[in-house]
Structure 1
Amino acid sequence: MAEAVEVFRAEVLAAVPHGFLGRRGGVSTGLVAGLNVGLGAGDEDGAVQANRALAVAAVSPGARLATVYQVHSPECVVARAPWPDAERPHADALVTDQPGLLLGIVTADCAPVLLADPEAGVVGAAHAGWKGAVAGVTDQTLAAMEALGARRERISAAIGPCIAQPSYEVDAAFRDRFVANNAESAHCFAAGRADHYQFDLELYVAARLQNAGIRRVERLALDTYPAPERFFSYRRATHHNEANYGRQISLIGLA
């Protein structure tokens, strides 16, 4: 029997269809075996599309899927309908007020952030790698949601599977870049070996959301790096000198 698709859900987003998916389930084989949804992962296009269909069916059967061409930026776009793959905008977040449309963000260590104001009928999804996070991708997403009628005090947010502090070693120059941008971010770094630190990306993203006025932020605390049977991980693949790596998807929409 084929392995079932695994879906992680957040309590703060219980009012809307959503899910953070991992590696389990799916039809891909080899290095990206499982539910690989990355178009740039060296996988067969047919397998990727089949896996995306499985992911949608696990979260909101019958919905249409909208994704963007992710470039580690703070850019956010409004989705009214899916874009053809070749026409996807270059951005790292998207929002919508359209029922039946699922927003999808792909990750492989970066933090997926799903957001919703169910009362306004507005949802958002953001890909928060360190570059996008420090540049303000979550801030841009909140502003785009407000432009569609959401209210910041009603928005809930959840941060899904991403690389965790024990697995994320960075050098002193990396830390200095963050602290120079915002001295308060120093609490996201723990001392490591000489001239190195352990960075808590999830904590940093949560703090950005809370500082922006989001009262309900849920952290799923799922580390992608040490669990190869559950999650894809760019850093793990790099450390193992693997030729490629898969991507998982996080989805949110309106019924």
Structure 2
Amino acid sequence: MNAPPDIATEAADHVRIVLVGTQHPGNIGSAARALKTMGLRRLVLVAPQKFPHADADAMAAGADDVLASALRVDTLAEAVADCRLVLGCTARSRRVQLRELRPRDAAAMAHAEAVAGGEVALVFGRERTGLDNAELQLCHAAVHIPANPDYSSLNLAAAVQVLSYELRLALLGAGGEMPVHAAALPAGAVPHAALEGFFAQLADTLEAIDFHKGRAPASAMRKLRRLFVRTGLDEKEIRLLRGILADAQRMARLARDAGRA
């Protein structure tokens, strides 16, 4: 049974499409058109190289309202600060190990979170280089479109269209049951900004207690990020963990002060 149109529309309003560092303004317009054809309307632009621009208006082809309401921000962290689920559309990365989803599985996750009232972001990177490692670290999972491996170059707007279509199917109830392996991936139970605040305090605490012993901290933080994102921490758990970190920082200060005495 298909979801009533008003429920689908309400859930769709919890989903934003985020374009990071878009180089060609025509791609912004084409992405806006892709959104609107699939019943989506929220577009967020992170540091676009050229916007507003006549090429964006021309390629929008009637999706001018989506362009006009697009939010422009400076960083991806700002774009997803209130999101409980952030999915990055990217080619496979060996350096940043994220759970990988097919578009249909990603749409199922996004649908479940949006129907529950959580904010969802589908993130797309630059035309030439995609999302960088720091930006991928802000994502809960990666979405990989299984294109032809002999010619896998997919236009930005085409990638947006693929994900928007799969989400449309999920929102209308036409995509079948949610895949088991997708449902088992927990969405973040707290807004992204709260999780990033915890990670920042964790990094400071590890430094304060000399956890790294002179080693580069990046590798350990990547592994810890994956661990905590996988658990889907809620607000009470975040407060508990941050309380533990605060005490650890306090004890580290006391130990330093005693050593100076």
Bigger Cα Rg: 2
Q: Which has the higher helix share?
A: 2
TM score, norm. by length of structure 1: 0.29
TM score, norm. by length of structure 2: 0.28
Structure of greater relative contact order (alpha carbons < 8 Å, 6+ residues apart): 1
Q: Which has the higher strand share?
A: 1
